[in-house]
Amino acid sequence: MSQESDPLTPELARLVLQVADRLRAEFRRAAGRLELPVAQAALLARLEEPTPMRSLAEVLSCDASHVTGIVDGLERRGLVERRAAPKDRRVKLVALTDEGCRRRAELGESYRSGIAPVLALPEEERRALHESLGRVVAGLDEAR
């Protein structure tokens, strides 16, 4: 209640959103360099272990039906494959192929080199920023 009238809060929000927009743009650019639709790149980036479709929907915070199309696309490109889950035959595990593993690494490098100049700050400031934002994120669940 005491913070509602603090003029720094909306200003802070504006800055966060502005930086986030640029980071997203850099991800789009990285995906574009690999000629991947953003949705496919986003899934690729988050895929390490073989993972059920359902879990991917949660990670990407989208509907499960949407994941089908994204995985279809990645499978057509030979970057992932669907495997039967050993325990539950309803479940399909999405797993990286060797090529998918390589492309995923490329994507990561491309993205990181894109955002490095954006987040370029003196080392001490970077650490402080990391700590503060970490605190904010840690508080996200309890806020409201």
Partner DNA sequence: TATTGTTATACTCTATAACTATA
Partner DNA sequence: TATAGTTATAGAGTATAACAATA
Which residues here bind DNA, judged by CB under 7 A?
A: 37-39, 52-55, 61-69, 71-72, 82, 85, 88-93
Stretch that binds its own copies, among 21-29, 34-42, 83-91, 98-106 (CB under 8 A): 21-29
CB of 92 to DNA, least distance (A): 4
Contacts of residue 43, defined as CB under 8 A and 6 or more positions apart, other chains included, come to 56, 60, 67, 70, 71, 74
**Residue 67 interaction partner, one of its own copies, DNA, none, beta carbon < 5-8 Å per kind:** DNA
Number of Cα atoms under 13 Å in the Cβ half of residue 47: 33
Q: Which of residues 33-72 bind its own copies (CB under 8 A)?
A: none
**Residue 91 interaction partner, one of DNA, its own copies, none, beta carbon < 5-8 Å per kind:** DNA
Work out whether 85 is an interface residue with its own copies (CB under 8 A): no
Q: Which is nearer to DNA, 90 or 135 (CB)?
A: 90
**Residue 46 interaction partner, one of its own copies, DNA, none, beta carbon < 5-8 Å per kind:** none
Q: Which is nearer to its own copies, 41 or 92 (CB)?
A: 41
3-state secondary structure string across 8-50: HHHHHHHHHHHHHHHHHHHHHHHHHHCCCCHHHHHHHHHCCCC
Q: How far apart are CA 30 and CA 10, in angstroms?
A: 30
Among 59, 64, 84, 116, binds its own copies (CB under 8 A): 116
